[in-house]
Chains A and B, each alone.
Chain A
Amino acid sequence: EAGVTQSPTHLIKTRGQQATLRCSPISGHTSVYWYQQALGLGLQFLLWYDEGEERNRGNFPPRFSGRQFPNYSSELNVNALELEDSALYLCASSSWADEQFFGPGTRLTVL
């Protein structure tokens, strides 16, 4: 069975630009979670989608947004990029109240 996939692997942007990160969950999983792993800050919860709806968001500004599509894949958008947005962005998926399976991550670099 294929695991959680994320694209792209690496993304380089400049300040002020927009970044779009994509995640495909494991087949049958309806929940998708996004986490940010920034240097020195550890893994921080960003967003949680389930059945196409945003269920909760972490302590991040509104320029971090996303959506979940009918096939349960998800997109994370970061607008007006700032240098401190440079981080590894991890996506995880789960079925209801079950273990979260993580993807390999997208490394975003903001120059």
Chain B
Amino acid sequence: AQRVTQPEKLLSVFKGAPVELKCNYSYSGSPELFWYVQYSRQRLQLLLRHISRESIKGFTADLNKGETSFHLKKPFAQEEDSAMYYCALGDSGSGAGSYQLTFGKGTKLSVIP
């Protein structure tokens, strides 16, 4: 069975400091990995997915299949980055196409001014 682990419930960093939110997964197939973010009083939204290899709001994440990790990084944290971050693993179930997601329990990032 697939599993996503986010070891930190809370991560506090100073503004301008680097940020790394950890995510490890276990999955027997070829994984699709995502990072979702939930800002205060907003709905859950996609931040980035590994197949797009984009940098969104300065965040990047690299899939490391050897270490089964998909850590989220940003070189310089901003106050507006304070939010709840969820790592998720996509499982296409019985076939290709849409994915049901397995989420980690989330990491609350707090950026201190």
Interface residues of A (CB under 8 A from B): 3, 31, 33, 35, 41-45, 48, 50, 55-56, 58, 90, 94, 96-105
Contacts of A44 in B (CB 8 A): 103
Interface residues of B (CB under 8 A from A): 43-46, 49, 86, 92-94, 96-106
Contacts of A3 in B (CB 8 A): 43
* B100–A104 CB distance below 8 A: no
* A42–B106 CB distance below 8 A: yes
Q: Which of A45, A103, A104, A105 contacts B101 (CB under 8 A)?
A: A45
Contacts of B99 in A (CB 8 A): 97, 100
Question: Total A-B residue pairs with C-beta atoms closer than 8 Å?
Answer: 55
Given A42-B103, A42-B106, A45-B102, the answer on whether A100 and B97 have CB atoms closer than 8 Å is no
Cα A50 to Cα B92 with chains together (Å): 12
Cα A31 to Cα B92 with chains together (Å): 12
Contacts of A33 in B (CB 8 A): 100-101
Given A42-B106, A45-B102, the answer on whether A97 and B94 have CB atoms closer than 8 Å is no
* B98–A42 CB distance below 8 A: no
Contacts of B106 in A (CB 8 A): 42-43
Cα A101 to Cα B103 with chains together (Å): 15
Complex: chain B residue closest to A43, CB-CB:
B103
* B45–A50 CB distance below 8 A: no
Cα A97 to Cα B92 with chains together (Å): 9
Cα A33 to Cα B98 with chains together (Å): 10
* A102–B45 CB distance below 8 A: yes
Of B46, B98, B102, B105, chain A has the most CB atoms within 10 Å of the CB of B98
Contacts of A102 in B (CB 8 A): 43-45
